[in-house]
Structure 1
Amino acid sequence: MKTVTTLFTAAAFSLLAFGASAHSISATGNTLDSAEAALAAKAKAEGKSDYKITSARMGNFVMMTAELDK
């Protein structure tokens, strides 16, 4: 019985942790500024004003990903 309770509790905590994870968005642009502006627009469209850029890659174009703060 104790094992079942422990497994149930662990499953409940893992679901809570999964629900608390941040939402990711990505955008592309020709320059760093245009890609960041696109990220800001996507964040605003989702009703968020704070985001943290997690990656940026440059080549022929710029691709950025960010996590929205809760």
Structure 2
Amino acid sequence: MSAQGRAYGAANFSDDCLLKEHLEENHYTTYSSLAHPGLYLALSHRGELRKGNTVGRHQSCTHFLPRRTTT
């Protein structure tokens, strides 16, 4: 994720590629940038990426269902 809040694909691994996973109190998962705190990964209702600096952690577009682990 760039400093402007745009998620992008890169051929080389860098600090911009690291995301922090946070389990919210409503049992959804949010992902924020480690390199740029306060920027969140978000999808629109059409499934398109939204800019991370225009959304907040409590908006529904940033909530993802957590992965279930199988044992």
Structure-2-length-normalised TM-score = 0.24
- Asked which structure has the greater RCO (Cα within 8 Å, sep 6+), the reply is 1
Structure-1-length-normalised TM-score = 0.24
More strand by share: 1
